[in-house]
C-alpha cells in the first residue's frame, strides 16, 4: 500500500477527525538510497501535510540529507541530534514544536538513540553527536497540556523512557518496526508503533476531561490494502519515478 494508499486514507480520516495530528517516527528512506527515490519520497511527504516527522538513521544515510534539509517542505524534528563540522555543532531542527488545538496546547519532542547507528560506517556517523535524552525529557510539562514524544529508538528503549521520564503522554515509536496491535501503557504513557515498510497506518484517538487529562483512548492499526484506493496525485508521482528509472 505504501504512500499511495496512505495519502487516500489520510484524506478520509481528516474529514472524520478535524483536530488531528499526523506524526512519523522516521526512516522515510531505505538505507543508501538513490537521489531519484529520495526525491520521490520527499515530494510525496510534502503532499501529506505532516505536523512533525522524526529523523531516522536510514534518512541520515542518504548522503545529501543534511545538505538539502532546508529545501524540504517537511517538518522534520529532532531534539537530541547535533551535526558537527570541526568544533562547531548545531541542531539540525528546532528542539521542540508547540501546536495549539482548541483548549489544548501540545508539545512535540523527537529523540533518537545512538545505538541505531551501530552498524553504520564512520563516514555516516562521524559528524553526528547524539545527546543524552536526560536534558531533553526532564521537566517537559511546563507550559503545555499534552506531551508527545516521537522516538526513533526501538520498542524496548521506548519502554525504558516511559518508565524513567514522567510526563510523556504518548510515545510514537519507530526503528524496531514493531507492530503494536494495542498501545503499551506504562504508567500514564501510551506507546504506539505501526510496523514496517509503510504496510500499515496507526490511529490513536484521545478524549480529555475538563482538566485536560486523558480519560479515554481508542486505537486501530489499518493495513493499507486494496480496500483503500490509490490517491491520484501520489500515484502520478510514483508512476513518474518509475518512468525515470526505466529510462535510466
pLDDT, one tens digit per residue, over 100-128 is 999 999 999 999 999 999 999 999 999 99
- Work out the number of other CB atoms within 10 angstroms of the CB of residue 118: 9
CB 109 within 8 A of CB 170: no
pLDDT exceeds 80 at position 1: no
pLDDT, residue 38, reads 95
pLDDT, residue 5, reads 97
CB 162 within 8 A of CB 187: yes
CB 23 within 8 A of CB 204: no
pLDDT exceeds 90 at position 179: yes
- Summary mean pLDDT of the chain: 95
State what percent of residues in the chain have pLDDT above 70: 100
Summarised one tens digit per residue, pLDDT across range 49-106 is 999 999 999 999 999 999 999 899 999 999 999 999 988 999 999 999 999 999 999 9
CA 67 to chain centre: 20
The arrangement of strands across the sheet holding 52-54 comes to: 23-24, 52-54, 76-77
Cell of 68: 538539502
pLDDT, residue 191, reads 98
Helices (H), the chain: 2-16, 35-48, 57-60, 65-68, 122-125, 133-137, 155-164, 232-247
Amino acid at each position: 500500500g505504501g504512500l499511495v494508499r496512505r495519502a487516500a486514507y489520510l484524506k478520509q480520516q481528516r474529514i472524520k477527525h478535524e483536530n488531528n495530528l499526523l506524526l512519523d517516527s522516521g526512516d522515510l528512506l531505505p538505507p543508501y538510497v538513490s537521489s531519484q527515490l529520495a526525491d520521490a519520497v520527499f515530494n510525496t511527504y510534502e503532499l501529506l501535510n505532516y505536523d512533525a516527522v522524526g529523523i531516522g538513521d536510514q534518512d541520515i544515510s542518504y548522503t545529501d540529507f543534511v545538505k538539502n534539509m532546508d529545501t524540504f517542505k517537511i517538518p522534520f524534528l529532532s531534539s537530541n541530534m547535533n551535526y558537527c563540522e570541526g568544533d562547531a555543532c548545531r541542531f539540525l531542527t528546532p528542539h521542540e514544536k508547540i501546536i495549539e488545538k482548541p483548549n489544548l496546547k501540545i508539545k512535540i519532542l523527537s529523540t533518537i538513540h545512538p545505538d541505531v547507528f551501530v552498524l553504520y560506517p564512520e563516514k555516516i556517523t562521524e559528524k553526528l553527536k547524539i545527546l543524552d535524552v536526560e536534558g531533553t525529557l526532564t521537566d517537559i510539562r511546563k507550559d503545555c497540556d499534552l506531551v508527545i514524544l516521537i522516538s526513533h529508538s526501538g520498542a524496548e528503549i521506548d519502554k525504558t523512557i516511559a518508565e524513567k521520564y514522567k510526563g510523556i503522554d504518548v510515545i510514537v515509536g519507530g526503528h524496531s518496526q514493531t507492530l503494536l496491535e494495542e498501545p503499551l501503557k506504562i504508567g500514564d504513557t501510551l506507546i504506539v508503533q505501526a510496523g514496517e515498510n509503510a504496510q500499515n497506518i496507526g490511529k490513536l484517538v484521545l478524549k480529555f476531561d475538563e482538566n485536560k487529562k486523558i480519560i479515554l483512548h481508542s486505537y486501530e492499526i489499518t493495513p493499507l490494502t486494496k480496500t483503500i484506493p490509490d490517491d491520484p496525485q501520489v500515484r502520478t508521482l510514483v508512476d513518474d519515478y518509475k518512468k525515470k528509472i526505466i529510462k535510466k
